[in-house]
A and B are shown apart, each in its own frame.
Chain A
Amino acid sequence: MTIDWTALGQVFGVTLVVTVGIVGLFTVGIVGASRKPAQEGAAVAVAAPGAGARTGAVAAFALCAVAVAYGIYLIVAA
């Protein structure tokens, strides 16, 4: 009996990279789209995200959507 360590290692590596990658990407999107916290001592009003941050967020979310679409493709094509 032999354990297929290569396959197990592969699964582990891919899972780790994909999970951390997608969660990281999505978090970047959330950070980009959310408001910056008020500076200490500044007014209560918080700054809306800038145009650059917003574009980055949209791009990050779009990449996540692509990943989900690929996931559906994997399920359907299996």
Chain B
Amino acid sequence: MEHITLLIGIVIVTALVFDFTNGFHDTANAMATTISTGALRPKTAVAMSAVLNLVGAFLSVEVAKTISGGIIDEGAGIRPEVIFAGLVGAIVWNLLTWLAGLPSSSSHALFGGLIGATLVSVGTHGVHGEAVVMKVLIPAVAAPFVAGLAAMAATRLTYRLTRNRDETDTAKGYRAGQIASAALVSLAHGTNDAQKTMGVITLALITGGVVAPHADPPLWVIASAGLAIALGTYLGGWRIIRTMGKGITDIQPPQGFAAQTGAAATILASSHLGFALSTTQVCSGAVMGSGLGRKGGVVRWSTAGRMVAAWGLTLPAAGAVAAGAAFLAGQGDWGVAAVAVLGLGICGAIWAASRRKPIDHTNVNEGPAAEPAGVVTAALRSVSPPPAGQPAPASDTPDTTGVPAQPTAPDAEVPAEPAGPDATPTPAPRAKAATVTR
């Protein structure tokens, strides 16, 4: 260990910080619906997820051989500075989306950061454009549909089968089943995502000549990566948990069970049939699907829309931050120091901003802050009132169709205001746009 230079030490610490934000960010994937249906108390849920992530980190037999799965050409002169810059970009974007409470993919942030840093310091030949499309874009688009449709079908079925049963009588069973599904998601997350950090650290160690190429990561790397992701998971990204558990749709126990089971099945099926789908998109899609599957259930499209926008921005935004960081870090030692100081400053500022309206385990289930109905929500309502199914007359204001259809009040309170002149006259194209965001 005495051969580790300061720069490699910085890369390792940064990688562990990224790992921490990764766990922090992705707690919601496994535990958001579990917490919002009351299957587990918030603290218990994140503790269980943290332990399973830690276990998962040690379980993986095969270690990530490439940190990026062939998206960047790791032989084309990737130096520790580049990895460092990529990690800084990923961390900053992860924290920003956390502040906004948006579930976005940590892996995409890492890929985006590495791509941006590589473009600046190596050039376009260091990035495999086709791999970006195949491994990032298509899975991200397909994931919510696959998981969403499966969860929707499952939700329909389960409500149909239990229509003669008392809801309070069945809820306990669903909650128990949901815990099992959430545990599978957590375990799969630990094996996948902790490995990425191990891959980054190992690559940094290899470039520094500390360990031989193609070597397995040393035990301390596995242990520290596992601990970092578990700690991040335990502290919990409560903002994101609230968005996924309460913000997208109101989840009842049967829906939570269907969504979580759909997510677990999608993740396992996709990673073992050779078409890996992104966990975050899978879980968000499953939650939306379960919202659509329940009669009278409603998906808040404005929240979903912001989430999808964040997905689209993740790669370029993390890439842009990382590109700036790579440029600065390429200037020499003072540049690396400047990136480190700036990165710490930005993280501190984001944390300080989050303290102004803290969300933690005590208020995670309090539901979304009443947000005005977005244009998409209002337009969708004016076109298709969810339960009835008959097309609304074009003259209908969103107000009259919306209120009886939506049992959930928060956005029905201010329906007409943002819809205004631009949403009502042209219902058809709006509705189409709304469907696409799904």
Contact = CB atoms under 8 A, between A and B. Distances in A.
A52 interface: no
Contacts of B270: 11, 15
Contact of B154 (A4, A23, A76): A23
B264 A20 contact: no
Interface of A: 1, 3-4, 7-8, 10-12, 14-16, 18-20, 22-24, 26-31, 33-37, 64, 68, 71-72, 74-78
A68 to B, nearest CB: 5
A15 B269 contact: yes
Contacts of B271: 78
B1 interface: no
B173 to A, nearest CB: 4
Given A15-B146, A19-B150, A31 B165 contact: yes
Q: Chain B interface mostly helix, strand, loop or mixed? A: helix
Contact of B164 (A4, A16, A19, A37): A37
A23 B266 contact: no
B434 interface: no
B188 interface: yes
Nearest to B183: A68
B328 interface: no
A19 B273 contact: no
Given A7-B275, A27-B162, A75 B188 contact: yes
B153 A19 contact: yes
B133 A1 contact: yes
B275 A34 contact: no
Interface size class of chain B, counting residues whose CB lies under 8 Å from the partner chain? 35 or more
A6 to B, nearest CB: 9
Given A27-B158, A34-B169, A35-B166, A15 B147 contact: yes
B134 interface: yes
17 contacts: A8-B142, A11-B266, A12-B142, A12-B149, A15-B147, A15-B150, A15-B262, A15-B270, A19-B265, A23-B155, A27-B161, A27-B254, A31-B165, A31-B170, A34-B169, A75-B184, A78-B61
